[in-house]
Structure 1
Amino acid sequence: MNPPLSRTNAEAHLYLDLHACSCGSTRFPRHSAVVALADGDLASRYTGACEGCGEEREFLFRLPPTPDGTGGGFRYGGDEPSQLLDPGEWLLVSDAYAGSVPTESGGEAGQQAQAALARAVAALDEVVKFIPAGADTVPAGAFLSDRGRQLHQREPGRFRRDRLAAVRAAYAGLLSPPG
């Protein structure tokens, strides 16, 4: 089996957070190691016992041939679409991070709000990567998870390039200090 590519540690950890054990818990101590695959490529292996039921969990993700030089703020990966999460899952992640931002925040709460907004913006950027060049919307075939397909069926307009750009601009505007 060829493990899926994880472009960054942040993407791998997000995947782990979203994929619960059969008991429903997502929490487990994440012991990680870099391992060699049969084809000579490298992979990250995450292991640990589920905090809910004690079942051993293991995830294996192929590492990119060269590390992603993200630079310029928080990012989940390079220019290519994710192999771990579909566009619906990314939009749900963005919604969750944006929804966690309090209306009034200063000090440490303000720093946490800025971090959440940066992750919301980065997740929106991931959705856009699924829109083919010259197209205006994410194609229906890009939704591979049940939760991604359900969101797309309920709200297909949220996956239009112009709408994603508008929401991203609003979140990014909140990241910028008032001038």
Structure 2
Amino acid sequence: MVLPAARTRDEAYLYLDLTPCPTCGSAETEWRHALAQVDGELVTAYDGTCQGCEAEREYLFELPAREHAGGVPNFGGPEPSALLDPGQWLDVADQLMSAVDPDKAGEMAVFAAAAVAEVLKFLPPGVDTVPAERFWSAAGRQVYDRQPGRFRRDRLQVVLDSYSGVS
């Protein structure tokens, strides 16, 4: 099965990190990356061996319509992710900032800010809250259901500004 496009390699690796092995539940896998063909179409392939149970894992992603150049991290362009929903992105930011080693706070804040910026991409123009239908994963929906108010534009902007100011 071919998954939606990974806009960048950083987004693909984050998706893989958040997708545990279906056999043992471990997320630890050394991934290899290459182009492949499926039904005559080029796709991006990631494969590796699960470090927990040694199962072979493979994920295929559509190629993005265009490459997205950017800094680090580079999760994608102006369009919202088709791989991770807004709840998953906010959860990534929360996890990064909740277990921060003080010596790495600035580095983690850069990644957390980028994750929050991804959440903002799910806001339709003129709408102040990420619509409930934009949450498609169980994990993302759980984050939304716990505190739907966290997905308001003004609150997301405050969090983004706060993380962007950490050095």
Give per-residue Cα distances to partners, 1:44-73, cap 9 Å, x unaligned.
1111121111111110111213210225x5
Q: Which amino acid in 2 is paired with 1:137?
A: T
* Normalised TM-score (structure 2): 0.92
Shift of 1:2: 4.7
Residue in structure 2 matched with residue 100 of structure 1 by the alignment: 99
Q: 2:131 corresponds to which letter in structure 1?
A: P
Whichever residue aligns with residue 140 of structure 1, its letter is A
Counterpart in 2 of 1:67? 67
CA displacement at 1:154 relative to structure 2: 1.0
Q: In the TM superposition, what is the alpha-carbon distance from 1:116 to its structure 2 partner?
A: 1.1
Separation in structure 2 between the aligned mates of residue 43 and residue 114 of structure 1, nearest angstrom: 35
- Please tell me whether the aligned partners of residues 46 and 59 of structure 1 are also in contact (alpha carbons under 8 angstroms): yes
List gaps (5 residues or longer) in structure 1. Answer: 106-111
Partner of 1:38: 39
Distance of 1:115 and 1:33 partners within structure 2: 28
Q: Is the 8 A contact 2:2 2:60 kept in 1?
A: no
Structure-to-structure mapping, 1:154-165, within 5 angstroms: 154-165=146-157
Kindly state the Cα deviation for residue 174 of structure 1 after the two structures are TM-superposed. Answer: 1.1
2:163 aligned residue (158, 171, 179): 171
Aligned Cα RMSD in Å?
1.6
Q: How does 1:19-30 map to 2 (within 5 A)?
A: 19-22=19-22, 23-30=24-31
- Three-state SS of the structure 1 residue aligned to 2:166 is helix
Greater CA drift, 122-131 or 92-101: 92-101
**Contact 1:25 1:50 (8 Å CA) reproduced:** yes
Specify whether residues 4 and 92 from structure 1 end up closer, same or farther in structure 2 by C-alpha distance, changes over 3 A only.
same
- The alignment's TM-score, normalised by the length of structure 1, stands at 0.86
Identity %: 47
How many Å separate the matches in 2 of 1:113 and 1:63? 33
- Residue identity in the other structure for 1:56: E
Unaligned runs of 5+ in 2: none
- 1:3 Cα shift? 2.7
Give the superposition deviation at 1:125.
0.6
Q: What aligned pairs does 1:15-164 form with structure 2 within 5 A after superposition?
A: 15-22=15-22, 23-38=24-39, 40=41, 42-71=42-71, 74-102=73-101, 104-105=102-103, 112-164=104-156
Larger Cα-atom Rg:
1
Alpha-carbon distance in 2 for matches of 1:174, 1:3: 35
**Partner SS state of residue 28, structure 1:** coil
